[in-house]
Amino acid sequence: MHIPKHYLHDRTIIALLSANLILFVFAALFVLLRIDPAKGSTHIVQYRSNLGIGAFKSGSIIEIQFIAVFALIQFVCSTLLSIRLYVHRRHLAVGVLALTTFILIVTPVVTDALLKVS
């Protein structure tokens, strides 16, 4: 994939990429270091408010670890999409990276909420 010449010279893009990389590393480490295998093999992985008493769905440790994989996929895909959009619309590329920043901020918050319930 060809990276546009001005993409890596744009300060806004570099700042957002740096922030997203730091947030991805934080989210992945937060998820992976919070998992305690001694607590048991099942954890709360979903909450469905429309199910009433059965609102909490349990799953294995691997399903919690997939949250770190989600953060990686989010970071990589948004970076690639931003590169492809940059040549057509700079503001859309910045928007994609800004939304990824928000998602990577919310990821550890949601994970913390799920792990505190279990």
Burial letters 91-103, b for 16+ CB under 10 A, else e: eebbebbeebbeb
Q: Which pTM was predicted?
A: 0.83
**What ranges do the domains of the chain cover?**
7-117
Cα dihedral 66→72→76→77 (10° resolution): 30
Residues of the chain falling short of pLDDT 70? 37, 39-43, 45, 54, 117-118
Instruction: Give the pLDDT confidence of 45-77 residue by residue, as tens digits.
Output: 677 777 777 677 777 778 888 999 999 999 999
- The two three-digit tokens of residue 115, written as one number: 């792990």
User: In the beta sheet, which residues pair with residue 44?
Assistant: 58
